[in-house]
Structure 1
């Protein structure tokens, strides 16, 4: 405390006990994709691209981004300056990223993988190794490797999201290109997980081959953009379903309501065509029947959001005296944050007391826990789940007064 010697009035600045918890971002994506070393790159500003003798001047062009290094991309023009416009050497990744921005995405990180010898496709190991570049980038909340449908790569995506030091991101998987409408054909041997969702079928974005036939593209990049759009317009608690995929003109396989009835219980999210609109018509994770509480994408992603926000917003607690005064501050700060989340419609209940509870007192922090240097906070939340099956019961009524 300051020492006062002369009589008078003194004003002290006292730190507030309220340390607001800010909600973390939920829509920054991380993409891994193939970009050839020899893709055509755009000119640098003010350059002509030719020498005085009329030869090509390579130094007048943007250099292609280094392979194996994550690059921040905040718009389509930035993508072109790093990886080139859409062309044979980058087409799968480029269409996915264009679809991400076109559908509402704002920021993404991209790690380029170079093709193998003689322009061969990179190995599964090359693609999965590239995921490690995202580990230290905390803002990434969605991850995808557009077009990569092997069991090895898609399992690595789920492993990445489930990493005990992360657990703050969600994998968007592309289903296999198949006409066999079964879980095994679409998902392969990829294990179940609440940290990812799979989508079927691939989509038509207006690309054709030499004969004019559609060249279908993986939907994961576009769907990541839909996630971002829904997060912005409604919030992470709103399931990213019953949403139109902008830029999609058709689907590789038309799936009927009856056919979807065989896929939805197996957690395959179907993309369907309604009145000319290509629409996401599924909202399930790959959790499986054993993890029914994590059945819906919105539930998992909302929980990720809550956990990461509270984690980052309470770092100041570490090494503070573990006593009732600290417990009171934690209860106040976490409750204030959760009240804001409840007010946004993300939690179930007519009052905050019905929507959540925060317990941080001697019951969860007995002497043995404190002696071990631990502080325990117990939080319970009532999740809002999507109305996946809307049932109207209609019967005849004779009329009159009931």
Structure 2
């Protein structure tokens, strides 16, 4: 199927079911993963900073973890979840979050507490989960790493191609305002920036050249030359007259141009999640032309809305996206007889002349 597409892109296959219409879901809901002690078991939902102590215990508002979460809310964060690893493995903590299908961002706290080997294991586990759930993992370098060391440790994680496209790493740590304040990882502030931009501009807006609120400053000064050497690490820098800015929007994928940037990956993941919702009732629908036409129209409406909001480039709808579905287009005779439904959507992401392609696959009744 991929060989017949005349646009450069990556082809994502998912097994799901069919349902209409497309209902846009949340794009920026983080899951913060940490040892929260005995305050709660499993996963806690937090709606605001004032809600944090009640939802997760007083300890969640103090120390490094508390400061990271405070920066999240100060930078635009709203709803989030906390996954408690106390007394369980990371894999078990992630499994406990399976029921929260609105999670789109994963943030492991205390990433470097156990050293480099443990950090690598955590990064691989979290980004593998992110890739499987159309989410983005926000990672960070160690407190004392230089920009170049941050690049080296990111590569030392040895993420595979799918994982690296669903991960972004930020450096350096941030110093909160106040006397004798100690640096904390930048991941809370960055997650808040994602939420703020998604709300104000859309998931397709690059989370770069964006002010970090809360009076924080980077624990290290980084030059333009050092930043160039540190790619694909995203740096947080301080500029005269501008304050502290997130200065970079790269994933950790250094080989595939389609998934080089955070906003392109997150846009494609958002479209994939939303279009999959349009397949939820396929098992009860006949696998025939009327069903395909209805699905095509639904997907077209959704993507046209995305384009009109500025999420896709192109002076016309035809230049901004395409939708394909049908026998001989996205499905073989055997697919149709077997109840398989395949929809392909091409997106002109906010990089001119380049399409990324999302394919969702489900099941339907007999033709």
TM over 0.5, shorter chain: yes
TM-score (norm 1): 0.75
Report the secondary structure of 2:165's partner residue: coil
Distance 1:323 1:36, change over 3 A: closer
Determine the C-alpha separation between the residues in 1 that align with 2:33 and 2:62. Answer: 11
Match 2:172 to one of 195, 201, 210:
201
Which residue number corresponds to residue 361 of structure 2? none
Picking from 60, 68, 77, the partner of 1:105 is 77
8 Å Cα contact 1:36/1:90 also seen in 2: no
1:90, distance to aligned residue in structure 2 (A)? 4.6
* d(CA) in 1 for partners of 2:84, 2:111: 14
**Residue aligning to 1:177:** 143
| Separation in 1, partners of 2:151, 2:186 | 19
- Is this contact kept in 2: 1:203–1:248, CA < 8 A? no
Instruction: Say if 1:248 and 1:219 are closer, same or farther in 2 by CA, change over 3 A.
Output: farther
Q: Distance in 1 between matches of 2:347 and 2:32?
A: 32
Does 276-285 or 356-365 show the bigger shift?
Answer: 356-365
Whole-Å separation in 1 of the counterparts to 2:104 and 2:306: 18
1:89-140 CA-to-partner distances (Å, cap 9, x unmatched) read: 95222112111111111100112344x8xxxxxxxx7445322222221000
* Aligned residue among 311, 317, 335 for 1:352: 317
Does the 8 Å CA contact 1:207/1:216 hold for their aligned counterparts?
no
The residue number in structure 2 matching 1:155 is 124
Report 1:386-397 matches (<5 A). Answer: none
Matches within 5 A, 1:291-302: 291-302=256-267
In the TM superposition, residue 361 of structure 1 has moved relative to its aligned partner by 2.4
Distance in 1, matches of 2:234 and 2:137, equals 13
Q: Select the structure of larger CA radius of gyration.
A: 1
Which segments of 5 or more consecutive residues in structure 1 lack a partner in the other structure?
Answer: 1-17, 38-63, 117-124, 387-402
What's the CA shift for 1:353?
0.8
* Aligned 8 A contact 1:28 1:141 in 2: yes
Which residue is equivalent to 1:259?
226
User: Which residue is equivalent to 2:275?
Assistant: 310
User: After the TM superposition, which parts of structure 1 deviate over 6 Å for at least 4 consecutive aligned residues?
Assistant: none
Corresponding residue of 2:4:
none
1:375 alignment partner, SS class? strand
- What does the per-residue CA deviation read over 1:122-178, in whole Å, with 9 as the maximum and x for residues that have no partner? xxx744532222222100011101231311111111111122xx2x21100011223
Query: Which structure features the higher share of helix residues?
Result: 2
Higher RCO (C-alpha 8 Å, min separation 6): 2
CA–CA separation in structure 1 for the residues paired with 2:128 and 2:286: 36
Question: How far is the alpha carbon of 1:385 from its aligned partner?
Answer: 3.1
1:377 to partner: Cα distance: 1.8
SS in 1 for 2:256: helix
CA deviations 1:317-376 (Å, max 9, x no partner) are 333111111111111111111100110111121111111111122323342221222122
Q: What is the TM-score normalised by the length of structure 2?
A: 0.82
Q: How far apart, CA to CA, are the structure 2 residues paired with 1:274 and 1:139? A: 35
**Aligned with residue 361 of structure 1, among 315, 322, 326:** 326
After alignment, is 359-368 or 373-382 more displaced?
359-368
Partner deviation per Cα, 1:53-91 (whole Å, 9 max, x = no partner): xxxxxxxxxxx3x23x1011101121111334468x952
Tell me, in whole angstroms, the C-alpha distance in 1 between the residues paired with 2:199 and 2:221. 30
SS in 2 for 1:278: strand
Contact 1:30 1:140 in 2 (8 A): yes
Whose strand proportion is higher, 1 or 2? 2
- 8 Å CA contact 2:45–2:55 kept in 1: the answer is no
RMSD between aligned alpha carbons?
2.2
- What residue ranges of structure 2 are gaps of 5+ in the alignment? 1-18, 113-118, 353-367
* Structure 1 residues 80 and 336, CA gap change in structure 2 (3 angstroms): same
Report the secondary structure of 2:234's partner residue.
Answer: strand
